[in-house]
Structure 1
Amino acid sequence: MQRIEDSLVQALAIDGALGVALGDWKSGMCLGFKGTNSPAFPEANLELAVAGNTEVIRAKMRVAESLKFNDEIEEILIILGTQYHLMRLIKTVNGLFFYLALDRAKSNLALARLKLNQLEAELKI
């Protein structure tokens, strides 16, 4: 089992990673973040990204509830022209999520999703 800091360091090592954060979508708080300080995604934007994507997750939760989904949301993917933004909900701790920003030209989305899933399983809060 890993601590938050260790998980963030490992997530940032994913090929093409621009930044990663752990957020709480119930409160909108950022519990930790790591970035590459790339001009494409400055590290300072990670706390803002967590706060903004909290609203995305809350909206999707409301829609799922309205539609009476009998399933859980695992992740939400936003595809930009040059980036992937992945929000992976943590199953073991209700309300937390990983936020990962990837450079599309330098990343493999399938491998990034697999690695983030592994990190989620190992995370200890």
Structure 2
Amino acid sequence: MTSVEVSLKTLLTEAEGALGAAVVDYTSGMALGTLGGGKHLDLNVAAAGNTDLIRAKVRTMELLGLKSEIEDILVTLGTQYHLIRPVTGRSGNGLFIYLVIDKARSNLAMARHLLRRTEEQLEV
């Protein structure tokens, strides 16, 4: 099991093209930890905005009567991929991991694999 800080460091060093990562509480919209980002990628603002995205998807699934759980959400921009992975398990209920990678320098499949592994090992 790994802490939030170690998980974020692992994501930024192992995900090729990583620009920033955060662990977020989607009940409050607050980031429990962030790493990376910059002038044009405010991870705290992104954490709050992506909280709305997660809530909307959960609400839509409830309205549709879908019993499945969200594995991840992918937002594709012109030059970036934004990946959101809800944390499952007892310690992660209400949390998600957010990873932003450069589209030209990354491997989306490997980033998703790394997110899954990080989510499984995260301990809050």
TM range (shorter): over 0.9
1:56-95 residue pairs with structure 2 within 5 A? 56-92=53-89, 93-95=92-94
- Unpaired stretches in structure 1, ≥5 consecutive residues: none
| Letter of the structure 1 residue corresponding to residue 44 of structure 2 | E
> Which residue does the alignment assign to 2:52?
55
Please say if 1:24 is aligned against 2:25. yes
Distance of 1:70 and 1:52 partners within structure 2? 25
- Unpaired stretches in structure 2, ≥5 consecutive residues: none
Are the aligned partners of 2:17 and 2:103 in contact in 1 as well (CA < 8 Å)? yes
Distance of 2:64 and 2:27 partners within structure 1? 20
Distance of 1:36 and 1:72 partners within structure 2? 28
Distance of 2:31 and 2:67 partners within structure 1? 29
SS in 1 for 2:82: strand
> Which residue does the alignment assign to 1:111?
110
| Letter of the structure 2 residue corresponding to residue 56 of structure 1 | L
Q: How far 1:67 moved relative to its partner?
A: 0.1
- Aligned-residue sequence identity (percent) comes to 50
Task: Choose between structure 1 and 2: higher helix proportion.
Answer: 2
> Which residue does the alignment assign to 1:12?
12
TM-score by length of 2: 0.94
TM-score by length of 1: 0.93
Q: How far 1:94 moved relative to its partner?
A: 1.1
Q: How far 1:36 moved relative to its partner?
A: 5.3
| Letter of the structure 2 residue corresponding to residue 12 of structure 1 | L
Equivalent pairs counted in the alignment come to 121
| Letter of the structure 1 residue corresponding to residue 20 of structure 2 | G
SS in 2 for 1:64: helix
SS in 2 for 1:55: helix
Q: How far 1:113 moved relative to its partner?
A: 0.4
